[in-house]
Amino acid sequence: MAKNIILIGFMGVGKGSIAREIVRQSGMVALDTDDVIESMENRKVKTIFEEEGEAYFRGLEQTVAHWLEKDVKHTLISTGGGFFKVGNLGKIGTVVLLHADFDTIYRRITTHPNAEKKLKKRPLFRDESSARKLYDEREPTYAKAADVVIDVAGKTPEKVAKEILKKVIKK
Ligand code: S3P
């Protein structure tokens, strides 16, 4: 497989756990764009939002996107929920959208044993109504950015990972 696989999707949809499962099943090397940004900046995403604002963070995402396009190959890339807006997404690799309806995502994030931590580290998931509004705004554009759409509701990360590998390898 020559290309990268890029996982996009809304906060809390399960990009991280599905990425870990793809790695387990395929042996691919993986990276996460939020982790790359945190190492570049030596501070947490939440702190970057607080100290610099969202526009600065989006600029960092674009910097990472240029680096991925130029220098990264054969890698599974998981992304922050807004990363799909970078200008060169399609040039990085095969874009896989993980899709679930908002209620499924909300339930997943709020019933997680670490729910408080998960919500705290996501400045754009402050409360249910603002998160739902953002979801509704993004929903149509996510699908446009994707080469492959995978429904994740009611499926285990193991099943989703298997589905992604089957579809992307066939492509
Ligand atoms: C964001 C999602 C977050 C993180 C930042 C902004 C977004 O990542 O990149 O808080 O705009 O949706 P997760 O999708 O991993 O929560």
- Is 115 part of any domain? yes
Q: Which of 3, 51, 2, 5 is nearest to 165 (CA)?
A: 5
- Is 158 part of any domain? yes
- Is 170 part of any domain? no
- The tens digit of pLDDT for each residue in 16-32 reads 999 999 999 999 999 99
The verdict on the CB of residue 34 being under 6 Å from ligand 1 is yes
Mutate to test the pocket of ligand 1, among 122, 130, 139 (most ligand atoms within 8 A of CB): 122
The verdict on the CB of residue 123 being under 6 Å from ligand 1 is yes
pLDDT at residue 171 in the model: 60
- The tens digit of pLDDT for each residue in 103-120 reads 999 998 998 888 888 888
Q: How does DSSP assign 13-70, residue by residue?
A: SSHHHHHHHHHHHH--EEEEHHHHHHHHHTS-HHHHHHHH-HHHHHHHHHHHHHHHHH
Show the domain range for 122: 4-165
What pLDDT tens digit does each residue of the chain (171 aa) get?
A: 458 999 999 999 999 999 999 999 999 999 999 999 999 999 999 999 999 999 999 999 999 999 999 999 999 999 999 999 999 999 999 999 999 999 999 998 998 888 888 888 898 998 899 999 999 999 999 999 999 999 999 999 999 999 999 999 766
- Is 101 part of any domain? yes
Determine which residue's CA is closest to atom 3 belonging to ligand 1. Answer: 80
Q: What is the CATH number of the domain that holds 106?
A: 3.40.50.300
Q: Which atom of ligand 1 is nearest to the CA of 82?
A: 11
Ligand 1 centroid to Cα of residue 27, in Å, is 25
- Is 85 part of any domain? yes
- Is 63 part of any domain? yes
Number of structural domains, the chain?
1
